[in-house]
Amino acid sequence: MTQNLIDIELSDEALAEIGEALDRLETHLVLLRGLEPELRRSLPKMGDKSEAFCRQALAAFAQNHEILPRNFDLAGYQRDLANFDLIRPLRQRLARLLERLSDTEMALGSDLMTASLEGYAVLKVSGKGEGLDHLRQALSARFARRRRGAVATEDAEPEAAQ
């Protein structure tokens, strides 16, 4: 193999412990909310400037709660901000871990694809006359391209038979 970006070995014990840790996370984070894509698109988002606005609004609301409408839940607003502050570092930490997991998966896939292409190139050249034609043909299916005319012909054939 000419490329080896990563070479890891995960033991059964390590995988079991990771699975248990994920189970514990899911148990403790059961209150997390999922959002439907349409709702996600329609919700107002809080960026950095909006976060500063919300924090200033809380200070103003807390100092002047008597002017707020009766149905304004100031305690709920304060809980939301406190929970936002608690959840953010967890999300950031999990995001970093997920990014490394995705990068590792990509590196492993790239190592596999590079080695497969190298082996396939050798098989195409050296495998001729060695009784490996069936194997070479099976591997070549990955690169087979269908012509548009062939697809249209295949689709038209069942109709003509009727």
Q: What is the mean pLDDT of residues 47-73?
A: 96
The token duo for 33 is 């909310």
pLDDT in tens, 105-161: 999 999 999 999 998 888 888 867 667 888 888 888 888 887 776 655 555 545 444
pLDDT at site 152: 54
**pLDDT score of 44 more than 90:** yes
Region class of 131: left (phi > 0), else alpha (psi between -120 and 50), else beta: left
- Strand ranges in 54-101 using DSSP code E only, listed in sequence order: none
**Residue 157 CA, distance from chain mean position:** 41
Contact 6, 107 (CB under 8 A): yes
